[in-house]
Amino acid sequence: MTGSRRCVVVVHDPQDSIGVLPDIAAELDLDPFVVSVEDALPAPSEVDCAIVLGSPESAYDSRLPWLAPEQLWLRALVSASIPVFGVCFGSQALARALGGSVHRNHTPEIGWTPVDTADPALLAPGPWLNFHFDAFTVPPRATEVARTALAPQAYVEGRCMGVQFHPEISEEMYEGWQRYWRGSPSGARMLAGLGDLPERLRAELRERGDLNAKMCAELLGAFLERTATVGE
């Protein structure tokens, strides 16, 4: 392919940051453009790849007015063989579109977490930042790539990959999370129960940020390189 790949980055709130993606786009030959899930999502013919980011919502919550259209859109991308990379909520939504399921996990998984990876050339063992209360089941035709003791962490099917953690995390994105939590009754309750953990995560992100961005670029680069030849 000549020229940059048109990469739609789907956010679940118009105010969401897309983390380190703008910083690593040129390295990956990507031309990213952001679309809110609440707006019209682009047709498969209009994109070369898609990255679907996180949300504080649950991917099984049928009350969300945009969830069913997002599921239809993801299935359309899969049918059109468009590479799709899902992150956290995005990995869960993609898992559902591929025939898997999503459920409330028995315990939250929060912090910088090493993963047991079956394919370190694609996915390094980390540590990666996890912050989730739900978990996906690996879709029936997908291959599990990584897991922790608490949850599956990554899967691949065709030109799709989902990761439960946040490789794209940046300080700007994390501060957006903090603002959301402080402004939400449920988020404020969660913060109250976490003690000094949010501040420790902020400090660790400041320390790990450059390395994490490098790992994110390597992961997305490996994913895009592999998906370029799938089915050929």
SS3 call for 196: coil
Q: Which amino acid is at 91?
A: S
Rounded distance between C-alpha atoms, residue 124 and residue 114, angstroms: 9
Side-chain half-sphere of 95: how many Cα atoms within 13 Å? 29
3-state helix, strand, coil in the chain (%, to 5): 35, 25, 40
CA–CA distance, 26 with 21 (Å, rounded to integer):
9
The 8-class DSSP code of residue 171 comes to: H
Does residue 19 contact residue 166 with C-beta atoms inside 8 Å? yes
b (16+ CB within 10 A) / e for 155-187: bbbebbbbbbbbbbbbeebbebbbeebeeeeeb
Q: What are the Cα distances from residue 75, in Å, to 41, 96, 126, 214? A: 13, 10, 30, 30
The residues annotated with a catalytic role in the active site are 88, 166, 168
CB under 8 Å to 150, separation ≥6 — which residues?
105, 107, 109, 135
